[in-house]
Amino acid sequence: MQTHRYVIVDVFTDRALAGNALAVFPDARGLDDGKMQALARELNLSETVFVLPKQGPGQARIRIFTPAKEIPFAGHPTLGTAFVIGTSVQLDPIVLETAAGPVPVRLEREAARVVFGWMNQPLPHVVPFDDTPALLAALHVERSELPVVAYDNGLRHVFVTLANPAAVAALKPDLAALARLPEFAVSAFAGEGTKWKTRMFAPAFGIVEDPATGSAAGPLAVHLARHGRIAFGSTIEIEQGTEIARPSRLFARAEGSAEHLTRVEVGGAAVIVARGEFRI
């Protein structure tokens, strides 16, 4: 029998029991793929992270699992893991090796306590999406205010623009229909200026609705800038998770131009709320 310790972190919030809960196993040596997946299923959070010795230029390698599968990259697991590591080391940035490439995270501290982080995400690129009518029907909406576009930054997100935040809050999607779009997480959003509201559904990944989706926040900033809703380089503030009683706040910005994207950053706070161990 081995003991495997884990930490629970609430990410994209500055208070406990809000944001997106994450489990981090700071030392996952000795766990094989099957046990990692079983532990992620047991904890049943949006994602669980397993930290392993580095293989390249980073401080550590991370593997990210949803309750259903391993994924190459996700935002709140990367940021939350950097907070956990940052409690014991003073490195800045902390570079985490993900399956989508190394991700630097810059941490901000107050009196030696980590209070905020900015991650430099993999640059998203547009990917084909050919199921717009089925997607709109599954969301029970008639149209998208902007073109329906999908982006890939290690995960594939497709974006649907609604008329106002109230329309986003009122969504009651057909989850079974959304699950038939297995390669994509679905983000519906609305807002103006620097303030935006979003909800993300990914039943095919084992996530009915996500409280805070860092991997979608960066592409959202790109999408808004590409379609003239914000300027490149502007920082947006994103509200998410209210409808499932996990209010979250994310920040994102995209730098460069529609022809040449140079940097995508996503930031937020996080708090460590629990520690435990498995004996298996």
Kindly report, residue by residue over 246-266, the tens digit of the pLDDT: 999 999 999 999 999 999 999
For the chain, residues with pLDDT lower than 50 are: none
Residue 134 is predicted with a pLDDT of 97
Q: Are strands 149-152 and 248-256 parallel, antiparallel or unpaired?
A: unpaired
pLDDT in tens, 268-278: 999 999 999 99
Decide whether 3-120+268-279 matches 125-267 in CATH topology. yes
Residue 88 has which token pair? 């014991």
Instruction: Reply yes or no on domain 125-267 having CATH 3.10.310.10.
Output: yes
Instruction: Reply yes or no on domain 3-120+268-279 having CATH 3.10.310.10.
Output: yes
Beta bridge partners of 198: 189
Return the active site residues.
47
* Local structure of 172: helix, strand or coil: coil
Query: Does pTM surpass 0.75?
Result: yes
Domain boundaries, the chain: 3-120+268-279, 125-267
Cα distance between the two ends of the chain: 5
Q: What gap in Å lies between CA 245 and CA 155, rounded to an integer?
A: 25
* φ and ψ of 263, to 5 deg: -160, 140
